[in-house]
Amino acid sequence: MSSRDWKVVYALIQQVARRIAPPKKWPPTHPDHLIVAMFFWSVAHDRPMVWACDRDNYHTLFRPKALPSQSCFSRRLRSETCQTILQQVCNELADIENASGINYLDARPLPVGACSKDREARAGRMSGGIARGYRLHALVSDDQRIINWVVTAMNEPETPHAERLIETAANVGEVILADAVFDASYMYDAAAARGSTLVACIRDSRLNTQLRRGRNSDERIAAVDHWTHGVSKYLYRDRIRVETTFGNMSSFGGGLGPLPAWVRTLERVTRWVGVKIAIYHLRLNQRRAAA
């Protein structure tokens, strides 16, 4: 993270903290914005939380006067206030209120080592076979913003979480592109309820057999017709852009790469991924501002 990027995100953390938690009569020794900033600092440098509690790991760009102990840092970071600050900083950097004409649904595996003792990591399918770990489910906008996301264990199916992503997103585009795993009636219904149209890949083997069973909603029947006789099949070709977004998230120092050894259990993985997504949006915004 460059010095310019850090100044932007640190100012935003302070602004959100003042809005969420106004100054108290007896303020804590370590304010909430410092706890959140320390976590951003450690994640941006791909270091564990205990690293952030060592004063030698700071310099003139960011050098707190007093640092909490590792136990205090972990406890405060799990507090509701700090979690809310983290969430709102991520939302503001992603500009989730800004709708996009086309969105994409997809998931990205986050595997852990085969010998990991992580009690919450589960085995599930990914490209190339089976792996243990977690999965990032994301609703991605046409301009490569992650507007809604959730992290789950690897073995959990994609469609129920994708349905909730659509239902809880602040704004959903007019068209949502997704691969064949999302070709289900309740997915089309969820998109239609938000005023959007789901365009999922429909395999040839499902074009007729599924319709004869009488278990399809009107939205899916219309989607099959558009896939067969309309332009949906050609529009679907743009879905490859979600893969570009996932690739860009990992293509710079401090981006979302493989989970390090100290990021285990669902709670910690979710926090780590959330800050990585925020750093990605920060970089994306700065690049577009300079264009």
Task: Kindly report, residue by residue over 254-269, the tens digit of the pLDDT.
Answer: 999 999 999 999 999 9
- Separation between Cα atoms, residue 103 and residue 235, nearest integer Å: 12
Q: In which band, very low, low, confident or very high, does the pLDDT at 91 lie, cut at 50, 70 and 90?
A: very high
Contact by Cβ (8 Å): 62, 10: yes
Domain range list for the chain = 3-94+261-290, 102-246
The β-bridge relationship of strands 175-178 and 102-111 is parallel
Residue 98: pLDDT over 60? yes
Per-chain mean pLDDT for the chain: 92
Give the three-state DSSP class for 59: strand
pLDDT class for 34, splitting at 50, 70, 90? very high
Q: What percent of the chain has pLDDT over 70?
A: 96
pLDDT at 207: 75
Banded model confidence at residue 170, pLDDT cuts 50, 70, 90: confident
Could you tell me the maximum CA-CA distance found in the chain, to the nearest angstrom? Answer: 70
CA distance 267 to 252: 25
Task: Report which of 47, 57, 109 is spatially closest to residue 263, judged by C-alpha positions.
Answer: 47
Give one word for 172, left, alpha or beta, with left for phi > 0 and alpha for psi -120 to 50: beta
Question: What are the DSSP calls for 195-258, one per residue?
Answer: T-EEEE---GGGTTHHHHTT---HHHHHHHHHHHHSSHHHHGGGGHHHHHHHHHTTSSTTSS-S
Instruction: Render pLDDT for 182-217 as a digit per residue (tens, 0 to 9).
Output: 999 999 999 999 999 999 999 888 876 666 556 788
Stretch 95-103: mean pLDDT: 90
- pLDDT tens readout for residues 219-246: 998 999 999 888 898 999 999 999 999 9
CATH of 102-246, one of 3.10.590, 3.40.50, 1.10.3470, 3.30.420: 3.30.420
∠ CA 277-178-272, rounded to 5° = 20
